[in-house]
């Protein structure tokens, strides 16, 4: 089975983010970047399927030079080779532009399955998967929390709202977006890290992918970033821990009347 | 006069609450832009009761048999055909799990932008769509190129308690989907073992998030919850780590709660969590990150190490009870 996993690099969840001076993005200096959480689960699912079915896992990312790290991490965990979509014109693509780039890179490889996390922890619009499926004319399922191969079909367990689930079968090739928690992502072994150094990372530019300016021009633009307006006038309790606790108990008893 | 469309999701004839909230947003936008507003319902031959007397100019019913059970390929094909004949300025929907499954695909087919999980908009001649990014830490205004825009509104972006009164006319659209190739075979929907933890009824909830750090620290939260006679809730990561079973989860993929007291311990308050708890009467947040989005909705905020606060709080509450 030939599997592609799309992994993206995002700031660590605990990062303190600062809005850039022009208010159209964040200051990326001094940030720690990691593999997007749900993409790590997608990678693990790809590696598990390869182990049970045989085949190959090809990881693919799009981003600036620093994003190469997520490919190295994936190769160290057991992915076989990597594709790195890297071009100055890939800055600030919208999801459709990004999907065009991934589609151009993946379309000739005849993957049986394309996996990615259900959303990235930066823009977080959860659109890339279904758009890429449309771009490549593949059936798709989102929010997948379980997979099972049935010959030339894949059966998935899809998470729905309020504790509901649904089993869905799809013909291969197919695209799945993976929900966090589906498996236990492995750590890279020392051997894996050594092996990684010999594995292929193929760089592809917009020109290599045959993409022109109109393919990459976004239809939606973030014109301004700002700190979310406060909905409530939060009373911040300060002092030494004992003082904070005393204040809290007093407020909850006399002001909020919930104790 | 232009037209707006609002997609109204239903399951077994019952309209999704998030759709009704988005409908409220659509009504506001229709008034603002002086556009007519039409609802779209898939898979039903008759109007759901909930839509019979609310303020909508008309409802388009699409009873095609392929739409009875949700499947992205048929939904996209049907809406694609509607958008070819109706040419609305906006297609609006509630940001449900279903919407996030098919609307991106529809947007790509139309080659038009989808603004997903919007929490609002503002307007000064041009429309700006408000989204939250970086898990709710930052807000952003989004603009689009001219033409159709597809928008999904996050749960709670609008209130559905006053949808006005009216008597929408009904138009049935005969859309033939028999030629659409299907490669997706949906099975039955099911629930895992019935929820044992019914947080919905708890008057108080202590909820833990990623900031709890280690599984052992859960015991501190559990002891606080026991002392308060509170239910124990959590955000998604705690479930993903396997530290608590799924039925403890609060948020868009878990339970929706509105207790008298919601005490968040190491919870950042990502938007997916907030939608499940923001209507709690009193929200207390303990988090060492002063920029955690939970503080946007907290009544009382404590910026500190939870390991310093939680055990002391439990002790003080226990002493009080003994008196």
DSSP string spanning A223-253?
Answer: EEEEPPPPSS--EE--SSHHHHHHHHHHIII
Give the integer Cα–Cα distance in Å for B206 and B223. Answer: 10
C-alpha radius of gyration, chain A, whole number: 22
Res. A220: pLDDT tops 70? yes
Taking CB atoms within 8 Å and a gap of at least 24, the contacts of B76-82 are: B76/A134, B76/B102, B76/B105, B76/B106, B76/B109, B77/B177, B77/B180, B78/B42, B78/B175, B78/B177, B79/B7, B79/B40, B79/B106, B80/B106, B80/B109, B80/B110, B81/B175, B82/B5, B82/B40, B82/B173, B82/B175
Asked if A122 reaches chain B (Cβ–Cβ under 8 Å), the answer is: yes
Give the integer Cα–Cα distance in Å for A32 and A11. Answer: 6
Query: What's residue B98's pLDDT?
Result: 96
Q: Which B residues 118-157 touch A at CB under 8 Å? A: 128, 131-145
User: Does residue B116 sit in the same domain as residue B225?
Assistant: no
Residue B106 lies in a domain: yes
Residue B273: which of B221, B208, B217 has the closest Cα? Answer: B208
Q: Which residues of A219-248 are buried (b: 16+ CB within 10 A; e: fewer)?
A: bbbbeebeebeeeeebeebeeebeebbbbb
Q: Best residue in B99, B109, B187 to probe A by mutation, most A CBs within 10 Å?
A: B187
The values of phi and psi at residue B210, to 5°, are -50, -30
User: Does residue B19 sit in the same domain as residue B153?
Assistant: yes
Nearest Cα residue in chain B from A220? B144
Q: Best residue in A167, A241, A247, A254 to probe B by mutation, most B CBs within 10 Å?
A: A241
Å between A102 CA and nearest CA of chain B: 14
Q: What is the pLDDT of residues A178-215, one digit of tens each?
A: 999 999 999 999 999 999 999 999 999 999 999 999 99
Residue B185 lies in a domain: no
Q: Best residue in A9, A10, A11, A13 to probe B by mutation, most B CBs within 10 Å?
A: A13
Question: Which of B153, B172, B191 is at the close of a domain?
Answer: B172
Confidence tier at B191 by pLDDT (50, 70, 90): confident
Q: Which domains does chain A have, with CATH numbers?
A: 2-216 (3.40.50.620)
Query: What's residue B231's pLDDT?
Result: 94
Res. B195: pLDDT tops 60? no
Asked if B210's CB is within 8 angstroms of A13's CB, the reply is yes
Asked if B116's CB is within 8 angstroms of A162's CB, the reply is no
Asked if B310 reaches chain A (Cβ–Cβ under 8 Å), the answer is: no
Residue B115 lies in a domain: yes
Res. B200: pLDDT tops 90? no
For residues B63-73, average pLDDT: 96
Residue B134 lies in a domain: yes
For residues A28-47, average pLDDT: 96
Give the integer Cα–Cα distance in Å for B293 and B135. Answer: 8
Give the integer Cα–Cα distance in Å for A82 and A84. Answer: 7
Res. B226: pLDDT tops 80? yes
Å between A126 CA and nearest CA of chain B: 7
A33's enclosing H/E stretch is: strand A33-35
Asked if B250 reaches chain A (Cβ–Cβ under 8 Å), the answer is: no
Confidence tier at B197 by pLDDT (50, 70, 90): low
Q: What is the CATH number of the domain that holds B309?
A: 3.40.50.1220
User: Does residue B110 sit in the same domain as residue B204?
Assistant: no
Chain B neighbors of A226, CB-CB under 8 A:
138-141
Res. B194: pLDDT tops 60? no
For residues A230-239, average pLDDT: 91
For residues B192-217, average pLDDT: 84
Asked if B260's CB is within 8 angstroms of A258's CB, the reply is yes
Query: What's residue A224's pLDDT?
Result: 97
User: Does residue B167 sit in the same domain as residue B278?
Assistant: no
Q: What is the CATH number of the domain that holds B148?
A: 3.40.50.620
Asked if A220's CB is within 8 angstroms of B143's CB, the reply is yes
Residue B183 lies in a domain: no
Query: What's residue B170's pLDDT?
Result: 97
Asked if B56 and B127 count as a contact pair (C-beta separation under 8 A), the reply is no
Q: Which A residues 225-244 touch B at CB under 8 Å? A: 225-232, 234-238, 241-242, 244
Query: What's residue B139's pLDDT?
Result: 95
- Sheet of strand B58-62: strand arrangement: A220-226, B138-144, B127-133, B114-123, B149-153, B90-94, B3-7, B36-42, B58-62, B169-172
Nearest Cα residue in chain B from A133? B105
For residues B31-56, average pLDDT: 96
- What residues does B149 pair with on adjacent strands? B90
User: Does residue B47 sit in the same domain as residue B102?
Assistant: yes
Query: What's residue B275's pLDDT?
Result: 86
User: Does residue B123 sit in the same domain as residue B12?
Assistant: yes
Of B104, B261, B312, the CB nearest to A241: B312
User: Does residue B101 sit in the same domain as residue B223?
Assistant: no
Residue numbers of the domain that contains B34: 3-172
Give the integer Cα–Cα distance in Å for B111 and A164. Answer: 32
Res. B1: pLDDT tops 90? no
For residues A110-125, average pLDDT: 96
- Sign for the pseudo-dihedral over CA of A24, A27, A33, A37: negative
Q: What is the pLDDT of residues B251-287, one digit of tens each?
A: 887 888 889 999 999 999 998 899 899 989 999 999 9
The values of phi and psi at residue B80, to 5°, are -60, -40
Asked if A220's CB is within 8 angstroms of B132's CB, the reply is no
Query: What's residue B252's pLDDT?
Result: 80
Query: What proportion of chain A, given as a percentage, has pLDDT over 90?
Result: 93
User: Does residue B56 sit in the same domain as residue B151?
Assistant: yes
Asked if A222 reaches chain B (Cβ–Cβ under 8 Å), the answer is: yes
Give, as one character, the DSSP assignment of residue B285.
E
Asked if B101's CB is within 8 angstroms of A141's CB, the reply is yes
Å between A198 CA and nearest CA of chain B: 32
User: Does residue B304 sit in the same domain as residue B213?
Assistant: yes
Q: Best residue in A9, A121, A171, A220 to probe B by mutation, most B CBs within 10 Å?
A: A220
Confidence tier at B193 by pLDDT (50, 70, 90): low
Residue B41 lies in a domain: yes
Please state the domain count of chain B.
2
The values of phi and psi at residue B266, to 5°, are 65, 25
Q: Which pTM does this prediction carry?
A: 0.90
Residue B190 lies in a domain: no
- What residues does B131 pair with on adjacent strands? B118, B140
Residues 6 or more apart whose CB falls under 8 angstroms from that of A27 comprise A17, A18, A19, A20
B93's enclosing H/E stretch is: strand B90-94
B123's enclosing H/E stretch is: strand B114-123
Query: What's residue B258's pLDDT?
Result: 87
Q: What is the pLDDT of residues B283-306, one digit of tens each?
A: 999 999 998 999 999 999 999 999
User: Does residue B140 sit in the same domain as residue B9?
Assistant: yes
User: Does residue B238 sit in the same domain as residue B135?
Assistant: no
DSSP notation for A165-189:
EEEEEEESSEEEEEPTTSS-PPPPP
Taking CB atoms within 8 Å and a gap of at least 24, the contacts of B128-135 are: B128/A223, B131/A125, B132/A124, B132/A228, B132/B271, B132/B293, B133/A122, B133/A123, B133/A124, B133/A222, B133/A225, B134/A11, B134/A17, B134/A26, B134/A121, B134/A122, B134/A124, B135/A13, B135/A121, B135/A124, B135/B268, B135/B270, B135/B271, B135/B293
Residue B114 lies in a domain: yes
Q: What is the pLDDT of residues B97-143, one digit of tens each?
A: 999 999 999 999 999 999 999 999 999 989 999 999 998 899 999 99
User: Does residue B89 sit in the same domain as residue B225?
Assistant: no
**pLDDT, mean over chain A:** 96
State the maximum Cα–Cα separation within chain A, in Å, rounded to a whole number: 68
């Amino acid at each position: 089975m030939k599997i592609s996993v799309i992994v993206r690099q995002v700031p660590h969840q605990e990062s303190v983010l600062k809005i850039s001076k022009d208010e159209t993005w964040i200051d990326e200096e001094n940030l720690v970047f990691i593999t997007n959480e749900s993409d790590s689960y997608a990678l693990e699912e790809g590696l598990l399927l390869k182990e049970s079915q045989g085949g190959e896992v090809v990881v693919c990312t799009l981003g600036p030079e620093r994003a190469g790290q997520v490919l190295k991490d994936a190769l160290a965990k057991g992915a076989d080779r990597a594709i790195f979509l890297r071009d100055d014109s890939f800055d600030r693509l919208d999801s459709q532009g990004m999907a065009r780039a991934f589609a151009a890179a993946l379309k000739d490889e005849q993957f049986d399955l394309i996996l990615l996390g259900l959303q990235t922890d930066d823009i977080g619009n959860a659109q890339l998967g279904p758009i890429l499926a449309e771009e490549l004319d593949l059936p798709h399922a989102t929010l997948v929390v379980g997979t099972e191969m049935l010959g030339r079909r894949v059966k998935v367990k899809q998470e729905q709202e309020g504790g509901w689930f649904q089993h869905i079968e799809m013909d291969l090739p197919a695209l799945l977006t993976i929900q966090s928690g589906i498996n236990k992502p492995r750590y890279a072994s020392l051997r894996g890290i050594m092996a990684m150094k010999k594995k292929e990372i193929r760089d592809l530019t917009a020109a290599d992918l045959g993409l022109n300016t109109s393919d990459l021009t976004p239809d939606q633009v973030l014109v301004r970033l700002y700190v979310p307006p406060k909905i409530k006038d939060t009373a911040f309790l300060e002092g030494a821990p004992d003082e904070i606790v005393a204040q809290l108990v007093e407020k909850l008893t006399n002001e909020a009347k919930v104790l | 006069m232009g037209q707006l469309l609002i997609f109204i999701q239903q399951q077994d004839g019952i309209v999704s609450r998030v759709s009704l909230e988005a409908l409220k947003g659509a009504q506001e936008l229709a008034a603002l832009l002086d556009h007519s507003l039409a609802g779209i319902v898939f898979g039903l031959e008759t109007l759901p009761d909930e839509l019979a007397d609310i303020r909508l100019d008309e409802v388009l019913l699409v009873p095609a048999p392929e739409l009875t059970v949700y499947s992205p390929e048929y939904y996209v094909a049907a809406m694609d055909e509607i958008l070819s004949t109706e040419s609305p300025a906006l297609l609006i929907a509630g940001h449900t799990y279903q919407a996030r499954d098919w609307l991106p695909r529809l947007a790509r087919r139309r080659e038009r932008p989808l603004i997903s999980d919007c929490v609002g908009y503002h307007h000064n001649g041009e429309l700006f769509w408000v989204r939250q990014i970086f898990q709710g830490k930052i807000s952003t205004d989004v603009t689009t190129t001219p033409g159709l825009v597809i928008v999904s509104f996050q749960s709670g972006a609008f209130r559905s308690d006053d949808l006005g009164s009216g008597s929408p006319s009904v138009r049935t659209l005969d859309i033939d989907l028999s030629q659409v190739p299907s490669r997706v075979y949906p099975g039955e929907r099911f629930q895992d073992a019935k929820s044992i933890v019914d947080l919905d009824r708890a008057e108080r909830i202590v909820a833990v998030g990623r900031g709890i750090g280690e599984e052992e620290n859960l015991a501190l939260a559990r002891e606080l919850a026991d002392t308060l006679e509170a239910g124990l809730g959590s955000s998604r990561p705690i479930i993903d780590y396997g530290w608590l079973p799924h039925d403890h989860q609060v948020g868009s993929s878990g339970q929706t709660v509105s207790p008298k007291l919601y005490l968040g311990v190491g919870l950042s308050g990502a938007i997916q969590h907030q939608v499940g708890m923001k209507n709690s009467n009193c929200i207390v947040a303990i988090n060492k990150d002063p920029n955690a989005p939970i503080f946007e909705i907290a009544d009382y905020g404590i910026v500190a190490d939870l390991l310093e606060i939680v055990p002391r709080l439990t002790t003080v509450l226990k002493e009080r009870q003994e008196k």
